[in-house]
Chains A and B, each alone.
Chain A
Amino acid sequence: MPFEAIAETLLKGGIAPRHVYRYIRELTDHLEDGIAQQKSAGFGDEDARIRARALLGDDRELTAAMLEQTRFRSWPARLPWLVFVIAPFFILTVCLLALLVPIFAIGDGAQHIYNATGIAPDFLRPLSWVLLTGLNLLALPLLALGLGALAHRQRLNPLWPVAGIVMLLPLFLHVSMAFGDPALHKSGSLHVTVAPPFTAHFAQVFADQAPVLIGQGLLTLMVIAYLLRRRTA
């Protein structure tokens, strides 16, 4: 990509990627027009390219002009502590709940689904538990990967997403559910549990969910190690 060095400088300067790539695209279009004009003025291919590129301005001018526009800075660049440390807790909670609802519906509504589709409740309820386990295992590591990708896209220090995830890890945030039983007039329930080690219910929660919470922790630590390795690479 032409102007790649300019793009990197702007991304590292905190300019939002969509503004950077739009700028680069228009500079590329402009360069093409400049080359065409130089050729029509009688210059050969190489000379036309050199002259057109010189008229465009040097890399320092082109980056300075954009970096002066502080309103084009991205939110992660302006407020990394908000995006990578505060917001992830709320994002994780909302995502867990949003995904938990359909997972719960598959199990709790197994009889209704069977009546409509013929799929046996003996398949649907275990499927629901498997999906719940997967959600608890993978939500935090996937969030960590997503935050790492966001930081990389904007050339931000990966220590920011690592800091956010390190703060989330000891919360042992997870979701659970209980199916209802119409025969007993018992309705189903959904729970979001936060159980940091210093709380009274941590021991019980950990005893009940040890394999999932340990798995969640290990996967998340692997992502953190990957992000830290990228930083030093």
Chain B
Amino acid sequence: MAQETSSLIAGVPELLILRLLQDQEMYGYEIVQAIAARTHQAVTPGEGVVYPVLHGLEKDGALKSRRKAVNGRSRVYYTLTAKGAKRLNFLKGNWNTLNRAVQAVMAGGANAV
């Protein structure tokens, strides 16, 4: 149980990245800025650590990448694949389950002190 929960929490960066890329292709810096903005700075990991997650997702087939020049700057853009969309749905389901479980505990009940 503890291992499953910790792996759920560990999947949060993947969940956020896949969700953002569901809307549009983005490059690493954009992804980091979007996470910080949309979570109102609640989630601000060391920016560089997003890349191993992106590379891992690409290796798993959840993302594909291409180098693109925009406004004179060349950057690697990431896009969600069909496999990535399935993975996103799976992680969303797990997250919702965890969220409900935590909410239930926080709401108190028979064992409330």
Give residues in A with beta carbon < 8 Å to B. 19, 22-23, 26-27, 29-30, 32-34, 55-58, 61-62, 65-66, 68-69, 71-72
Bound-complex Cα distance A19 to B56 (A): 10
Q: Are B55 and A27 in contact (CB under 8 A)?
A: no
Bound-complex Cα distance A39 to B74 (A): 19
Q: Are B52 and A55 in contact (CB under 8 A)?
A: no
- Tell me the dominant secondary structure on chain B's binding face: helix
Counting chain B CB atoms within 10 Å of each CB, the highest count among A26, A61, A72 belongs to A26
Q: Are A69 and B48 in contact (CB under 8 A)?
A: no
Q: How many A-B contacts are there with CB distance less than 8 Å?
A: 64
Can you list 20 A-B pairs with a CB-CB distance of less than 8 A? A22-B55, A26-B51, A27-B48, A29-B29, A29-B73, A30-B28, A33-B29, A33-B75, A34-B29, A34-B47, A56-B46, A56-B48, A57-B46, A61-B49, A62-B46, A66-B51, A68-B52, A71-B59, A72-B55, A72-B56
Q: Which residues of B contact A33 (CB under 8 A)?
A: 29, 73, 75
Q: Are B51 and A27 in contact (CB under 8 A)?
A: yes
Residue of B whose beta carbon sits closest to that of A25: B76
| Interface size, chain B (Cβ < 8 Å) | 19
Q: A56-B47, A56-B48, A57-B48 are in contact. Are A69 and B56 (CB under 8 A)?
A: yes
- Tell me the dominant secondary structure on chain A's binding face: helix
Q: Are A58 and B46 in contact (CB under 8 A)?
A: yes
Q: Are A26 and B28 in contact (CB under 8 A)?
A: yes
Bound-complex Cα distance A23 to B49 (A): 10
Q: Are A30 and B46 in contact (CB under 8 A)?
A: no
Q: A29-B76, A55-B47, A57-B47 are in contact. Are A66 and B52 (CB under 8 A)?
A: yes
Q: Which residues of B contact A58 (CB under 8 A)?
A: 46
Q: Are A30 and B48 in contact (CB under 8 A)?
A: yes
